[in-house]
Amino acid sequence: MSAPVQISANKHFGGYNRRFRHKSTSLGCEMTFTIYFPPAVEAQAKKVPLIYYLSGLTCTDENFIQKSGAQQKASEFGIALVAPDTSPRGLGVPGEADSWDFGVGAGFYINATVEKWKNWRMYEYITEELPALLSSNFGDKIDLGTAAVMGHSMGGHGAITVGLKNPGKFRSISALAPICNPTSLECPWGTKAFTGYLGDNREAWKEHDSCELIRRHKGPPLPLLVDQGSADNFLSQLQPESLEVAAKDAQYPIQLRMQEGYDHSYFFISSFIDDHIEFHAKHLK
């Protein structure tokens, strides 16, 4: 595993946003990720817990870091934020950049099984390679055993599914406007991505659907917070009501809040990101 190379650093609320590049063995290309180190890390005072943030369609690691304002509360609570990219880039797979909702910028946090897209293994990258890289290179600064995961839209889908499938890795989960039921016929994003990456076997798709995973969840539930804007123009695809029904059926406690008048943008994210950082801080103590 090659060590990450720092490519930029910006001081922010007493800490630093540090962006890195490294060669990914899971994805077969160079990848970037950004870590916000709070002041406690920069002062070498102590190791801190961390929150992974998984971004949505078309985003890179920079969108959240530049637009969310999450660093203010992360600085206050002494929490590192880790923002990875959303897909492999630069592999030159035919058709990889033909549409905004598939291929580049649209990894969906799954491991593709269709041969053409074999390098689209974002689930492996998020759950195995990136944590190992962080442990090897920043283990003296970050407590990898005290982690949470959150995300937006496609990344909200990623946060819930990754969290539910790996309860031992995370203390809590949260999502902003997540794609809740991607196997539903009413979710063209999910149908397109899962057909392309996983093929036509819809039973295999269920391993990556938050509603299905909640229904079959065993063991103690992880704390889960979901915010959704009522004026989101993608609401029919996101289907928060399906997640609410699934949680009720499984008696899985979730906090799902419908936020009146908010859309799908970073205006929405930045309005509620403090609540999400505080939510995770409570469970990362």
Provide the pairing of β-strand 173-176 with 224-229.
parallel
Measure the CA–CA gap between 105 and 95, rounded to whole angstroms: 13
Q: Write the CB contacts of 66 (distance below 8 Å, at least 6 apart in sequence).
A: none
Q: How far apart are alpha carbons 226 and 215 in whole angstroms?
A: 17
Which of the residues are catalytic? 153, 232, 264
- Say if residues 121 and 26 touch (Cβ distance below 8 Å): yes
Give the Cα separation of 280 and 247 in Å (integer): 20
Residue with the two structure tokens 């889960």: 224
**Token representation of residue 278:** 């505080």
Contact 80, 35 (CB under 8 A): yes
Can you list the alpha helix ranges (DSSP code H) found in the chain?
39-42, 61-67, 71-77, 122-124, 130-138, 154-165, 188-198, 202-205, 210-215, 235-238, 240-250, 266-284
